[in-house]
Every structure is written in structure tokens, then in C-alpha cells.
Chain A
Amino acid sequence: GAGVSQTPSNKVTEKGKYVELRCDPISGHTALYWYRQSLGQGPEFLIYFQGTGAADDSGLPNDRFFAVRPEGSVSTLKIQRTERGDSAVYLCASSVTRSTDTQYFGPGTRLTVL
């Protein structure tokens, strides 16, 4: 079956612009996660959804970052007024039901803020 997919694979934007990153989890997975990976480092947690609700958003760095999952499947990570420091690879993952299940990762979206 299909794995986790993310679009776009690459996004280049200018400082101050708004961007949206999309994640399609594995069909039937109720848990969905966003992570951010800077060059040469391991991924860092941003937000966790259980169904349609954000169960844990403690990793979002500030209020410029927001994520939604309105129908409990596809999720969109939204970044307002982008800054150069937002440049990173944004990874999405999903798991069957709980956060303690195996998490399956998508290929990521590489965001570059000029």
C-alpha cells in the first residue's frame, strides 16, 4: 500500500511570505505527527494529531506556525511571515492509533526561505 506522502517536495519562498505544506498519511492511521529537521541534526517534534484534534502542539516554535487536520486524514502545516531560520526539512509521520506505535515517515518537504 501507499506510504506517507508529502507535497511539495521542495519549496523556495521569500522572507515574510506564507507557505503551506501538505501531508497524506497512510490510509487508516489515526495518529499524525510533524517534525522539523535542520541540516546535520535529528528531527525535532512539532505537533501531534489524534484524529482531527491537535493532541500535543508543544513543539511548535511560535505562533507563526499552525497545523490543521480537518477530516482526520490529510494535514496541512502553515507557516506565516516566514523567516530564514525556518529553512529546514519538514517531515510528516503517521502511526496506526497511538504515539507509541511504529511511526512511518514521509519523504519530507525541503523549505528554503531566501
Chain B
Amino acid sequence: KQEVTQIPAALSVPEGENLVLNCSFTDSAIYNLQWFRQDPGKGLTSLLLIQSSQREQTSGRLNASLDKSSGRSTLYIAASQPGDSATYLCAVNSHNAGNMLTFGGGTRLMVKP
């Protein structure tokens, strides 16, 4: 059974810092990995999707990497802003559970002005 873990559970940084959020998964047989943002009381917004054959994806100040063999992904946020404050979730779509996303518990990010 696929298990997804996100570390740290919470993170507080001053504005302008570069930061890295970590995601690990136990079963490397995946189709893809997706990073989401969730604001309080809101749904999920897709940030980046990395296919299993890819190593990284970039969108603006965000860069997500994938090391499938070691079961790890990182989300790099450059020059953080207060508006980046949210919960960040990673989710994997696995071969043995291909109809669902398996989510980590999320990282709650606070960027202080």
C-alpha cells in the first residue's frame, strides 16, 4: 500500500527566503506525482504535475523535482512571499492504485512579511 509522507508538517520563514518542501513515498511504481496548494477553507489548486519519466517541472518561482527510485520529491519555492502562505500537499498516482491519488499530510507554510 502506497504511503506518502511530508516533512516538515509546518514551516515559518521570513519573506524573501528560498525554501524546500519534502515529500516521500514508499512505492516507486508511480504514474505521476502532483503538488497542490490549499488555502484555509478552500479546495486544492494544482501547482505542478511530474510524470514518472520526468525529473523536474517548473512554473514561475516553483520548481518540483522527482527521484522515483528513491521515492522522493521536493518543491522548491524561490523568493517566498506572504501570499505563498498555505498548505502544500503532494499526491502520487500509483500503478497498484491507479484510480486514486494518495496524499501526504501536507506542509503548512507561513511566510512572514
Contact = CB atoms under 8 A, between A and B. Distances in A.
Interface string A34-63: 010000111111001000000110010000
Interface in B60-113: 89, 91, 93, 97-106
Nearest to B42: A107
Interface residues of A, number: 26
Given A42-B4, A99-B93, A103-B46, A56 B99 contact: yes
The residue in B45, B89, B100, B102 that gathers the most chain A C-beta atoms within 10 A of its C-beta is: B100
B22 interface: no
Nearest to A3: B43
B43 A106 contact: yes
A106 B38 CA distance: 11
Contacts of B34: 102-103
A105 B93 contact: no
Given A43-B44, A55-B99, A102 B105 contact: no
A100 B93 contact: yes
A25 interface: no
A4 B45 CA distance: 11
Contacts of B91: 42-43
Contact of A42 (B41, B97, B103): B103
18 contacts: A4-B43, A6-B43, A33-B101, A40-B105, A41-B106, A42-B4, A43-B91, A45-B99, A91-B43, A99-B99, A100-B93, A102-B34, A102-B46, A102-B49, A103-B46, A105-B44, A105-B46, A107-B42
Interface of B: 4, 31-32, 34, 36, 41-46, 49, 89, 91, 93, 97-106
Interface of A: 4, 6, 33, 35, 40-45, 48, 55-56, 59, 91, 93, 99-100, 102-108, 110
